[in-house]
Amino acid sequence: MAFSEVIRNPAYEQVAHQLREAILDGALAPGEELPAERELCAQFGVSRTTVREALRALQAQGLAVASGPTAPLRVPPAESLSTGPLRESLVHLMRLGRVPLADLVELRCALEAAAVAGAATRLHATDARAEASRHRAACLADAHREVEEMRAVGDDVAAFERADVRFHVALVAASGNEALQLVMLAVRDSVSAHLLDALRALPAPQRTLNRLTRQHEAILAAVEAGDGRDAELLLRDHVMGFYRSAERATAAAEPRAAARAGDPLASRPSDQRTSGSSPLGGTSA
Ligand SMILES: [Zn+2]
């Protein structure tokens, strides 16, 4: 007969575990203040040091937040999930896992294609929930505003990139799928530096920016026409098209750069990783 070893978790981990479960189950609601330290000490029967250590662990995981150094800890409010440390954790995971840029672009393509197809078909389905159709209408109005913004920024690639992020976020939000939206934001964060670098490396960016803006308009028109299949194809062309042209530019530029730097690895495309500094490891716009 085999027995397994008894695992004695430190007290702070047991406290953190119980609080974490309460937060994730919703027993402690988003935005709700956590019980005071004194109360936690009494309830768990542990010292103040132990409680503090548990709270620090929760803060590090993004499951407890404070608005200032002396403010009480709260469960993160629902709206902060798209910007807070939990989103950063996903970005760190992608970088730490050395996820190749091509894989991230493929994931982004799959997520956004599903989102635009969903937004297009649901837009034209009879939806009993008036709130859902109002939400979609508001998201598509946001997307239109961002296309206007792209037209207004001229050849300012940084401003274009910001409008591009907001455009794609609005499109995914229009699908009404919150899971798609959260994961898409993290994927987007993981590739946005590459996108900006790729745009900055363009000798004459205006033509490319105009082309990307026309692609955005076409995607939006397909969604509004209720043509999910078309929206999906246009989105894939838009994302993959830019990525491939950035990759070709990298392939052309890298052997020259490698020869100058004497770096024998620099021309190997498989070394192009999300954590790398390759200026043209770009994604779509
Ligand atoms: Zn775009």
Structure tokens that stand for 10 in this block:
């430190």
pLDDT of residue 267: 41
CA of residue 76 to ligand 1 center, whole Å: 30
CA of residue 121 to ligand 1 center, whole Å: 21
CA of residue 222 to ligand 1 center, whole Å: 15
Measure Cα distances from 10 to 34, 35, 39, 158, 238 in Å: 21, 21, 20, 48, 51
pLDDT of residue 271: 40
- Pick the closest to residue 228 from 102, 143, 135, 114 (CA basis): 114
Residues of the chain where predicted confidence (pLDDT) is lower than 70: 81-84, 86, 123-128, 249-250, 252-285
CA of residue 269 to ligand 1 center, whole Å: 24
Contact 180, 81 (CB under 8 A): no
AA identity, residue 11? A
What is the distance, to the nearest Å, from the Cα of residue 154 to the centroid of all Cα atoms in its chain? 26
**Domain spanning 11-76: CATH 1.10.10.10:** yes
CA of residue 235 to ligand 1 center, whole Å: 8
Residues 6+ apart with CB under 8 A from 94: 104, 186, 187, 190, 274
AA identity, residue 148? E
In three-state secondary structure terms, 74 is strand
CA of residue 168 to ligand 1 center, whole Å: 6
Query: What top-level class would CATH report for the domain 85-250?
Result: mainly alpha
Q: How does pLDDT run across 164-186, given as a tens digit for each residue?
A: 989 999 999 999 888 888 888 88
3-state DSSP of 44-79:
HCCCHHHHHHHHHHHHHCCCCECCCCCCCCECCCHH
- Pick the closest to residue 168 from 219, 125, 95 (CA basis): 219
The domain locations on the chain are 11-76, 85-250
CA of residue 50 to ligand 1 center, whole Å: 48
Handedness of CA 135, 137, 138, 143 (dihedral sign): positive
CA of residue 54 to ligand 1 center, whole Å: 42
Does pTM top 0.75 for this prediction? no
Structure tokens that stand for 56 in this block:
């620090």
CA of residue 66 to ligand 1 center, whole Å: 35
Q: Which H or E run contains 108?
A: helix 101-124
